[in-house]
Amino acid sequence: MKELALKYGCNPNQKPSRIFMEQGELPVEVLSGAPGYINFLDALNAWQLVRELKQATGLPAAASFKHVSPAGAAVGLPLSTTLRKIYFVDDLPVELSPIASAYARARGADRMSSYGDFVALSDECDEATALLLKREVSDGVIAPGFTPEALAILQAKRNGKYNVIKIDATYKPAPTECKQVFGITFEQGRNEIDLTSPVLFENIPTKNKEFTPEARRDLLIALITLKYTQSNSVCYAKDGQAIGIGAGQQSRIHCTRLAGQKADIWWLRQHPKVMSLPFVEGIRRADRDNTIDLYIGDEAEDVLRDGSWQQFFTRQPEPLTMDEKREWIAQNTQVSLASDAFFPFGDNIERAHKSGVQYIAQAGGSVRDDHVIMTCDKYGIAMAFTGVRLFHH
């Protein structure tokens, strides 16, 4: 098939809409549902991300995409008991496979942003992954294949309207890519930069020059994630997954703050008070996620005041105080941080330090590199100047 008609473009008034190949056949097959324009943008960007993560790490990878940027990305490392609980996968009736663990991590990093996501899997979707997808609010999934059990589960989701896309894993696009803006065609070479090259870690200007194997892995995950994230962008990573992504901000410090706030929320969700919240039986997953987000944040009173807490909890929980939050966040360590371009000022490092960052990979090349290096040295942070910019638009 060379062409697939879509319902409409980014908005309902943008018609006609289609995807098509000028040469050859489309490398995708719709097995269920009717994916739209934005669905395919998410699917194809997310597929590139997970394919590259798998190639770089040798591990199954998954991504959760919303509006052409990842809300989460991860590789299939085993989940601790704590992560199983905060990702709400501890009750799955089958054992988590590596690809299911990857998606649990990707979805669990920022569950608020992942609501209604489009999912990409580097490996065949199996029953365990399909069962996770079945119970989440999600628009669709793209993968190189689906087991019969997984396909049956997904084709039944939303009465057959859930989008299931199979992609040809051997498909290789042309070395140049084009797009039109205001009737004018843009053309550029595809971004085929090799982020696994050891050259990226040869320039380490900080006093601390030691990167653990886990830090190098997490920085690689962060850099590949940024390669497919709308710029400006910053990514915090730990334990084989992104834990905070700041995308599409005009100011880099705003990226660092946004991603850092998300990383802090990810860590705060592991606080004993949060993990023991007494939710009412049968609360919807989205309501539970929103309630946790409010409880952790600055508007906790919205779910703790009399007349409100009864909707969510069997008893009124104690607040999570500001001091408790600070003390808990201070325990988060070994966090890695990557940026899609240089940090212009040391304020980014100051903010990163507050969220436990000890390893950084960034392009370098700012006129204030000396100040950035000095700030890293103040906290004993190891930083590599990669010399690589990863803007994506």
Q: Give me the active site residues, please.
A: 66-67, 232, 393
Question: How far is the C-alpha of 137 from the C-alpha of 157, rounded, in Å?
Answer: 10
Backbone phi, psi, residue 218, to 5°: -70, -35
Q: What is the DSSP letter of 66?
A: E
Please spell the DSSP secondary structure of 132-161, one letter per residue: HHHTS-EEEEEES-B-HHHHHHHHHGGGGT
Please spell the DSSP secondary structure of 84-124, one letter per residue: HHHTT-TT-SSPPPHHHHHHHHHHHTTHHHHTTEEEEESS-
Backbone phi, psi, residue 375, to 5°: -70, -40
Beta-carbon contacts of residue 22 (< 8 Å; ≥ 6 apart): none
Q: List % helix, strand, coil for the chain (3-state, nearest 5).
A: 40, 20, 40
HSE at residue 281, side-chain half, CA atoms within 13 A, is 0
